[in-house]
Amino acid sequence: MQALGIDVLFKGTNLFRLLQGLWVSIEISLISVVISIVLGLIVGILMTIDRPFLRIILKIYLEVVRIMPQMVLLFIVYFGTTRVFGWDLSAEFSAIFVFSFWGTAEMGDLVRGAIKTIPKIQFESSLALGFNTVQTFVVIIIPQTIRRLIPLAINLITRMIKTTSLVMMIGIVEVLKVAQQIIEANRNTSPNAAFGVFAFVFFLYFIICWPISRLSIYLEKRWA
């Protein structure tokens, strides 16, 4: 145990601090996921509307998010806005904003793809029955879209949880930052602390993400 550096976990409050850091990561993820799902549903529907200008704007938004690394977005929002606009944004708010900005684009594209899989005849039939566009989406399209979307959305959630490790770069004390602090504090007494601590961090991420991933696979097979 000592040779692997695992004993460091049980010194003082190290284990408790890691769990606190994990909760910070989960909290940022959950808030970002909820915002991304709500806004992503709206963006996805807008992507299917036959308005060329709107489609171009949303396409640019999606491409910017895909091309730009999340770490760069974090630096722009947290450090850039302070220097350019003088805004005093907290690190937590910046992280939630960036992950929601990224997640909304990704979720919107998933929603767009799910809507496109619905046969066009269903749109035409609903309009022929007297439904307007809003009623068509609310009553017919969105319920089917959600069923197709859930497995894909769950995969996005696991990606967002894992990506929250980047927030340590703007000073948020999440699980990876706490792990580094513990390793630094025990560098002399436990040279192998890095192995034990990071192995435990891997285990924490695994027990959170693996069940979510399995749920996604199960739903995808069940609703295929």
Domains and CATH numbers, the chain: 23-176 (1.10.3720.10)
pTM for the full model?
0.84
Q: Residue 40's pLDDT is what?
A: 92
Q: Residue 98's pLDDT is what?
A: 94
**In 3D, which of 123, 57, 64, 145 has the Cα closest to residue 98?**
64
Distance CA 196, CA 8 (A): 8
Higher pLDDT, 71 or 134: 71
Distance CA 40, CA 21 (A): 28
Distance CA 190, CA 165 (A): 24
**DSSP per position, 113-162:** HHHHTS-HHHHHHHHHTT--HHHIIIIIIHHHHHHHHHHHHHHHHHHHHH
* SS3 of residue 219 by DSSP: helix
Contacts of 51 (CB under 8 A, 6+ apart): none
Contacts of 116 (CB under 8 A, 6+ apart): 48
Q: Residue 35's pLDDT is what?
A: 94
Q: Which of 2-11, 30-39, 190-199 has the highest mean pLDDT?
A: 30-39
Q: Residue 220's pLDDT is what?
A: 73
